[in-house]
Amino acid sequence: MYVPPYRNEPADDAEEFEVTAICQSGQKISALQENAWNFIRDKFAEVEASLRRKLFVNHMKGYRGFVDECVPDLSEFDLEEWDEIKDAIPWDTPAAVDAMFELISIGLLDQGLDDCGFSYFNFNSGWDEEHGISVLMHRNHVLAAGGISEFSNLGDEVIPHIKSIQRYDLDDGDLSLLED
């Protein structure tokens, strides 16, 4: 059943979120991390558009799975509850992202491509209240999605981890690191 996306306890003010630099190589923020943060600030509209695309894809997977697999087996009580909320959100439109996801933190990794570190965005999710979703990006390109903070402690294994995810979950619009 749908659960509002505030299980992972965001800041009291919905406009606030944490930004964390994961410094595997030392105690100082690296140039890769600075470049990633500067890109996010300078090109926020592009970053947001890519994030919203990936979140909508994730949302539609959750929604279709729920409607196809769960709704037919709902008890009478749960079906009544679903009937009460099913028209509250425009489920099959990109506007559903606003209702189903809430940004709680941004992470900056000291691993990356070119001269820019990877960044990840952690969201509470109405479809996965326990784990949320984390979207890993390079500049304004989505690389992968996983559970909250999945990408925070990978160190040198971040690129192999991205490739592993992309072998089974690469959506249109994602930047592939897989060899052709």
Q: 4-29: per-residue pLDDT in tens?
A: 344 344 445 556 777 877 777 667 88
Model pLDDT, residue 11: 44
Residue 64 lies in a domain: yes
- CA-CA distance, 108 to 119, in Å (whole number)? 5
**Token pair for 117:** 């570190």
pTM: 0.85
Residue 56 lies in a domain: yes
Query: Residue 41 above 80 pLDDT?
Result: yes
Residue 80 lies in a domain: yes
- CA-CA distance, 101 to 58, in Å (whole number)? 10
Q: 75-88: per-residue pLDDT in tens?
A: 999 999 888 888 88
Residue 126 lies in a domain: yes
- Domain count of the chain? 1
Helix or strand or coil: residue 73? helix
Domain containing residue 88? 32-166
- Residue 180: which pLDDT band, with cuts at 50, 70 and 90? low
Model pLDDT, residue 9: 46
Q: 154-167: per-residue pLDDT in tens?
A: 888 999 999 999 99
Candidates 114, 115, 168, 111; CA nearest to 136 is: 111
Q: Are 122 and 103 contacting, i.e. CB atoms less than 8 angstroms apart?
A: yes
- Residue 3: which pLDDT band, with cuts at 50, 70 and 90? very low
